[in-house]
Amino acid sequence: MKQLNVGILGLGTVGGGTYTVLKRNASEITRRTGVAINVVQVADRNLANAKALATDADVTDDAFAVVNNPAVDVVVELIGGYTLSRELVLKAIANKKHVVTANKALIALHGNEIFAAAKANNVIVAFEAAVAGGIPIIKALREGLGANRVEWVAGIINGTTNFILTEMREKGLNFADVLGEAQRLGYAEADPTFDVEGIDAAHKLTIMSAIAFGMPMKFEQAYTEGITKLEQVDIKYAEELGYRVKLLGITKRTDNGVELRVHPTLIPEKRLVANVNGAMNAVVVKGDAVGPTLYYGAGAGAEPTASAVVADLMDVARLIDATSAQRVPYLAFQPEQVQDLAILPIDEVQSAYYLRLRASDKPGVLADVTKILGDRSISIDAMLQKEPDENETEADIVILTHITVEKNMNAAIAAIEALEAITTKVVRIRMEELAK
């Protein structure tokens, strides 16, 4: 029987899960591939823990020993980051070894360089686990939806922020309180910046966008806005109007360029993706032939992510003797057909909007606001006007608009905030229907 020898870099949560799944499901994997996949070497800084788990493999604390080991056919990179990991992956490729990684930051920032090196050395780089954990969204975009011209992709692709927003909605808690609970439960890191500021989601969105539209990775041009400034009152008002607030990664193909943006978004509560709660992930892909399709599941965790890592190893086992022309291209399109598409600046993006104004309770305020919007061709879809609380002279006005260009909305907000009756900054949250 054919053998595929694997070296794993990092035996933490995902690495440990990968080793466990490979051992537990070895017979099933071999039945599917006709290849015995064996872990022959692992590298981890915690030698004691690694030796306790990887009892059948050579264990080292030197990651370069693995990428330079002539007995290793495939290097599985699970150490994270994008400095040492980049060096290790490029060295493995130079040594003619195939690479499987779950590292979204590495692919989003250095994927273009890595794919070029892999093509030059005729090796496979597989990265299904880099986006949405156990959800096979990369394979769906590259293969399952290959007959389609993908029009847009929108996803809940960070479990930490989805858990926080779910708790804020269901329990009426503020962001800071829920963040502390998320950290206590292990959903959020001690430093949660990458999650709550949308950076993690932007890494994943960059990868999906490149595959969906056949363009290079352009993480540095992604618009990123997190959830740290979201207030409980806006989540409550959104629900009164029939919407849920989610941190979405959105990428769309337009006549003027590609949208690449991560931000809090109002979604109609009737959409399936609006009802994805807790730490779960979901991605909606709209193809011209198939229409909207939804992919749902665990976006993180030891074995859900290991499921994707092992699936990539199985693909390598099947395709290791194939020529590059017989393999699915990294970005779904033939390398010479990858196009350097322009990314739209956020000012040029078109969206509908949720606006919350804190205004003095006196005649004429609403007329002034609607005139400002009308003067900029922004039409109103719905409105919620709250009565002032007892002994208060100010009240909230909530407005939902139809679609407009962001720069027009920016100008309107500036003019509204200049009104004497408006007492605080206008809260603005973008809205998406995700229907067509």
177's CB contacts (< 8 A; 6+ apart) are none
Contacts of 131 (CB under 8 A, 6+ apart): 104, 137, 138, 157, 204, 207, 208
Per the structure block, which two tokens stand in for 12? 């933490």
Paired residues of 431 in beta bridges: 266, 352
170 token code pair: 């269901």
12 known member of a binding site: yes
> Which residue of the set 23, 119, 139, 204 is catalytic?
204
Whether 139 is catalytic is: no
Instruction: Note whether 275 and 269 are within 8 A (CB).
Output: yes
Any idea what the Cα angle at residue 417 is, between residues 414 and 421, rounded to 5°?
Answer: 155
Residues pairing with 39 in the sheet: 6
15 is in an annotated binding site: yes
Q: Exposed, middle or buried: residue 327 (CB in 10 Å: 0-12, 13-18, 19+)?
A: middle
Do the annotations mark residue 287 as ligand-binding? no
Helices 159-171 & 175-185, crossing angle to 10 degrees? 130
83 belongs to an annotated ligand binding site: no
Q: What is the CA radius of gyration of the chain?
A: 24
Query: What is the signed CA dihedral for 347, 349, 352, 357, rounded to 10 degrees?
Result: -10
Q: How far apart are CA 8 and CA 66, in angstroms?
A: 8
Q: Residue 137's closest CA among 334, 263, 318, 304?
A: 304
Q: Is 299 annotated as a binding residue?
A: no
Report the relative pairing of strands 350-360 and 291-298 from DSSP bridges. Answer: unpaired
Q: What's the CA gap between 430 and 55, in Å, rounded?
A: 51
CA distance to 109, 361, 380, per residue, from 257 (Å): 21, 43, 27
Is 16 assigned a ligand-binding role in the annotation?
yes
**Which distant-in-sequence residues (6+ apart) come within 8 Å of 52 by Cβ?**
none
Structure tokens at 290: 């198939």
11 is in an annotated binding site: yes
**Maximum CA pair distance of the chain?**
83
Query: Does 236 belong to an annotated binding site?
Result: no
Q: Residue 104 annotated as binding?
A: yes
Q: Does residue 119 have a known ligand-binding role?
A: no
C-alpha span between 57 and 42 (Å, rounded): 7
How many other CB atoms are found less than 10 A from the CB of residue 120? Answer: 10
Binding residues for NADPH: 104
> Which residues are tagged catalytic?
204
Extract the annotated binding site for L-homoserine: 189
